[in-house]
Amino acid sequence: MIILSIETSCDETAVSLLKFDGQAGETTVTILGNALFSQVDIHKEYGGVFPMLAKREHCRNLIPLMKKALEEAGFENTKKQETITKQDTQLEKIKQILERESGLLEHFLAYIPTIEKPPIDTIAVTHGPGLEPALWVGVGFAKALSKLWDIPLIPTNHMEGHVAVALLEEKRPEKKSQPTFTIKPVSYPALAILISGGHTELVLIPESGKYDLIGQTRDDALGEAFDKVARILGLPYPGGPEISKLAEKDRNVRPNGTISEYILPRPMIHSKDFDFSFSGIKTAVLYMAQKIPTMTPDIQMQIARQFEDAVTEVIISKTKKALEHTGAQTLILGGGVVANTYIRKSFGILADTLPGLKLQIPSISHTTDNAIMIGIAGYHRYIAGVRGDTTTLRAEGNLRLSK
């Protein structure tokens, strides 16, 4: 089967076409087409994502990305002019669906009716969690395509996508062939640690498609804390990669065992639950910075390293405690912060100390928001019989993974 997947939850606009072959447990995934546009450079001047600007960019970029993905897959075939007018009735319904997304509607009507319906079996779209203005663009686009082409719609949870994409294992394709993956089998119960700009969660997965939230941040998400600390240190947005670069430099200058005067707390590391709190450590950095007469590059390096060390120690400690409590056989990492090299390495070390534990980490290219992860999660939902309705499907900014 072939799934068209759409992701617009925050500041990445993404469209992909995935082909699934085989049966459950032996599924092969081929990326037929994949297109992504990041808005990071656009939002830099705001020091974070500006929701209505993100919405505008999604409206502007969805059709060009759709066109690119279809071209990569070899699915873009122009219609004969006389067949276009036969869709007039459906196009009136499309106008109603996209009436609040005027820029997208204009691009949609100028392009989609001029191409033949591609051989797509279903459409997977992120309907939450995320920024609601941004989510509505993708949801509206998916509903319009579903209505026009008369194909099923699968509402997909963004965080489930981060879990699903971590299970991909790339096959070694022949030269010039399309990227192909297999979906790794999971030994249950599994535990997922999801760390991103908006989420820090520990999720128990007793079986496929079942999620139980057992721990979460009580204030700032981990990625949010990275960005706020970077801002305090005078580093550009997005702050996570900047903190990581400086921390790595400091480890090279001051190897393990060197004592720094800029020691930071490990918030909630000894609490008996599985929750997190990162607002306090951000405040500790702020108070520390206010006492420093001149923020030199060397001091920036030391504080960045101490911050990364502290938060990593906390998430490793909490995850280990959760693994021991739940008896999980598989640990799945997901979310944009998983691109952090030091955090990836630290979880690898943790897994090595726990015999029998399977560690599933997504490739760095799949850690940030993308449509491939939505297609994989959408496939699992399709197999489970989940379908959406073009009339009732809504964007849900606060959608939870566990019910």
- Domains for the chain: give ranges and CATH numbers: 2-166+369-383 (3.30.420.40), 186-361 (3.30.420.40)
- Which helix (H) or strand (E) covers residue 60, if one does? helix 51-73
Listed in sequence order, the DSSP H helices in 263-370 are 279-290, 297-326, 341-352
Residue 237 contacts residue 291 (beta carbons within 8 Å): no
135 phi, psi to nearest 5 deg: -60, -40
Q: Are 232 and 295 in contact (CB under 8 A)?
A: no
Question: What one-letter code names the amino acid at 364?
Answer: I
C-alpha distance across the termini of the chain, in Å? 29
Please check whether residue 138 is in contact with residue 6, taking contact to mean a CB–CB distance below 8 angstroms.
yes
How far, in Å, CA of 3 to CA of 120, rounded?
6
Distance of CA 27 to the CA centre of its chain: 22
Helix, strand, coil share of the chain (percent; to 5): 45, 20, 35
Q: Which helix (H) or strand (E) holds 127?
A: strand 122-128
The answer to whether the beta carbons of residues 2 and 119 sit under 8 Å apart is yes
The answer to whether the CB of 260 falls within 8 A of the CB of 302 is yes
Say whether 154 sits in a helix, a strand or coil: strand
Per-residue pLDDT tens over the stretch 342-380: 999 999 999 999 999 999 999 999 999 999 999 999 999
Rounded Cα–Cα distance for residues 253 and 299 (Å): 12
* pTM confidence score: 0.93
- Tens of each residue's pLDDT in the chain, 403 residues: 999 999 999 999 999 999 999 865 689 999 999 999 998 888 777 777 888 889 999 999 999 999 999 999 999 776 654 444 445 667 788 888 998 887 899 999 999 988 999 999 999 999 999 999 999 999 999 999 999 999 999 999 999 999 999 999 988 665 557 889 999 899 999 999 999 988 999 999 999 999 999 999 999 999 999 999 999 999 988 899 999 999 999 999 887 756 678 889 999 999 999 999 999 999 999 999 999 999 999 999 999 999 999 999 999 999 999 999 999 999 999 999 999 999 999 999 999 999 999 999 999 999 999 999 999 999 999 999 999 888 899 999 999 987 6
Evaluate whether 86 touches 109 at the Cβ level (below 8 Å): no
Angle (nearest 5°) at CA 238 between 236 and 239? 70
From the DSSP assignment, how many helices (H) and strands (E) are in the chain? 13, 12
pLDDT at residue number 7? 98
Long-range contacts of 49-56 (CB under 8 A, 24+ apart): 49/10, 49/11, 49/131, 51/131, 51/132, 51/133, 51/134, 52/133, 54/10, 54/11, 54/131, 54/133, 54/134, 55/131, 55/133, 55/134, 55/136, 55/137, 56/103
CA dist., res. 329 & res. 303, Å (int)? 36
